[in-house]
Amino acid sequence: MRWRLIVGVVTVLALVVASCGDDTTDVGGNGTSTTAPTTMTADTGSTSAAPVELPASFTGVTSDTITIGVVWSDLDELREMGLVDINYGDIPLVWQTVIDDINANGGIGGRQLEMVFDRYNPVLAISVEEMCIRLTEDEEVFAVVGSLAGPALEGILCILETQETMVLGGVHRPELLERARAPWITTEWSQDRRYSALLEIYQEEGYLEGKLGLLDDHREHNGLTEDIVLPTLDRLGVDLAVELTSTATGGDELALESQIGLYAERLKDEEVDTLLIVQSAIALGLPLMREAGFEGEILTVDSGSFLAGIGGFDERDPEIYAGAYGPTPFTSDDAWAMESTQECVSIFETAHPEIDVIPSADVPSGDPQWATPLLAACRLLWLFDIVGEAVGPDLTPANFEEAAFQVGTFVLPGQPFNSIAPGKLDANDGMGLGIFDPDVGTDGGLAEVLPYVSVTED
């Protein structure tokens, strides 16, 4: 398998041990050894191992197939609701093409991968739950794989808790992850680990040494701030002089402007020189705080890369964001140039030569952005393949999770730094630090302060 060489040292050593052993092979992943039966070849009289029939080890797993549910947001329904207008091309075709390539290269542990595709509305909890029932009860899939996000993400508990079905994809939220009764592995950062890593970078670089204030939104205060940000600051020995929570209802910018004006006065009275702004409060709170006269350092505490694209949807002069710090993603150019990214693209273009896959940012308005679902499919399915190969014949969710802990570090398309370990089921380890510069690009963006590196200790 061409790209499997990107997997870490542990997997390589495991394969070396297997290939250098005698005629006993660990087929169960549980420490037991079974002697492989031998047969005589017809023409030479030499012996060779007969194929070992794989067990139907779990729901969705037969002796020769693994059935997974692949899910994606229902873009047509979201378009009708006026929420999005995105064209990702033929999404089932994208996923099936990557699956076909895996199957053509031997499948996963000797089994062929089969897909049941389904869509859901990410803003309606009932839609997520209905998708869950279709896949887990009607189709009896081994795992649900794909894009899982949106306001209705709580519905994922139908899969993970009620149906006890494994999930690959989505973004971990602590309150959901702790209720999961089946493994939930993802290629994305979890909220808590990303927030913690970012705050640790701020501390290491000396940005948390001044007198600190914090601004968040009432919708997130009882979750992200109290559950992640404040405990992390406490662990780092960082004290806050002022905590401010906006209570203005969504869309009421006049009320928020008035409130932020009062908050800016309080920061001045308390002589706060550095302000942490958490997630949702970045969009309006940051520019309003500057307009209200706060001149200190601003550090965004962001689980994504909000500042990287702020100029594309905010009509304000991008100068208002100048000097604000935030996490940086792997640059789109570097991600596209990765060998693993180009292999993923090549697989699809070889199968569909009439389709030219280019970076999504370069796609003309209205044309399909094939790269977005394609890279997501390669990341998740290749991760499934990497771990599935390490499991052995006895494929179960528990064995899959245990095998994931053993694969070491690995590379995925667009993501150079990844690992999975006990207590860390979100693979992405990469982060950089940037400062907003209005002269970057056409609408401003993040200029590099620290390079994109792995922030997870080996």
DSSP 140-157: --SEEEE---STTGGGGH
Residues spanned by CATH 3.40.50.2300 within the chain? 2-8+59-188+334-427, 192-330+431-454
- The DSSP 8-state label assigned to residue 137 in this structure reads I
The secondary structure of 299-356, three-state, reads EEECCCCHHHHHHHCCCCCHHHHCCCEEEECCCHHHHHHCHHHHHHHHHHHHHCCCCC
Residue 208 reports pLDDT greater than 70: yes
d(CA 406, CA 113): 22
d(CA 112, CA 105): 10
pLDDT tens digits for range 123-143:
999 999 999 999 999 999 999
pLDDT at residue 62 in the model: 98
Which helix (H) or strand (E) segment holds residue 14: the answer is: helix 9-20
Residue 399 reports pLDDT greater than 60: yes
In the structure encoding, which two tokens stand for residue 154, read together? 């709580």
Which helix (H) or strand (E) segment holds residue 17: the answer is: helix 9-20
Mean pLDDT of 90-97: 98
Q: How confident is the model at residue 44 (pLDDT cuts 50, 70, 90)?
A: very low
Average pLDDT score, the chain:
86
In the structure encoding, which two tokens stand for residue 133, read together? 């029932």
pLDDT at residue 311 in the model: 61
Mean pLDDT of 216-233: 90
Q: How confident is the model at residue 34 (pLDDT cuts 50, 70, 90)?
A: very low
Looking at per-residue pLDDT, the higher value among 189 and 51 belongs to 189
Q: How confident is the model at residue 318 (pLDDT cuts 50, 70, 90)?
A: confident
Name the H helices within 33-124. 75-80, 91-104
Q: How confident is the model at residue 28 (pLDDT cuts 50, 70, 90)?
A: very low
Mean pLDDT of 332-337: 92
pLDDT at residue 278 in the model: 93
pLDDT tens digits for range 406-424:
999 999 999 999 999 999 9
The domain 2-8+59-188+334-427 is classified under which CATH number: 3.40.228.10, 2.40.30.40, 3.10.105.10, 3.40.50.2300?
Answer: 3.40.50.2300
Q: How confident is the model at residue 219 (pLDDT cuts 50, 70, 90)?
A: confident
How many residues in the chain? 458
d(CA 25, CA 50): 13
Mean pLDDT of 284-297: 93
Residue 88 reports pLDDT greater than 90: yes
In the structure encoding, which two tokens stand for residue 140, read together? 């009896």
First to last CA, the chain: 26
pLDDT at residue 35 in the model: 29
Residue 440 reports pLDDT greater than 70: yes
- Which CATH architecture is the domain 192-330+431-454 placed in? 3-Layer(aba) Sandwich (3.40)
Nearest partner of 156 among 174, 177, 187, judged by Cα: 177
Looking at per-residue pLDDT, the higher value among 227 and 19 belongs to 227
pLDDT tens digits for range 150-206:
888 899 999 999 999 999 999 898 889 999 999 999 999 988 899 999 999 999 999
**SS3 (DSSP) at 72:** strand
Q: How confident is the model at residue 279 (pLDDT cuts 50, 70, 90)?
A: confident
Q: How confident is the model at residue 458 (pLDDT cuts 50, 70, 90)?
A: low
Q: What percent of the chain is predicted at pLDDT more than 90?
A: 67
Residue 365 reports pLDDT greater than 60: yes
pLDDT at residue 26 in the model: 30
pLDDT at residue 350 in the model: 98
Largest CA distance in the chain: 92
Residue 254 reports pLDDT greater than 90: no
Q: How confident is the model at residue 248 (pLDDT cuts 50, 70, 90)?
A: confident
Looking at per-residue pLDDT, the higher value among 113 and 12 belongs to 113
pLDDT at residue 50 in the model: 52
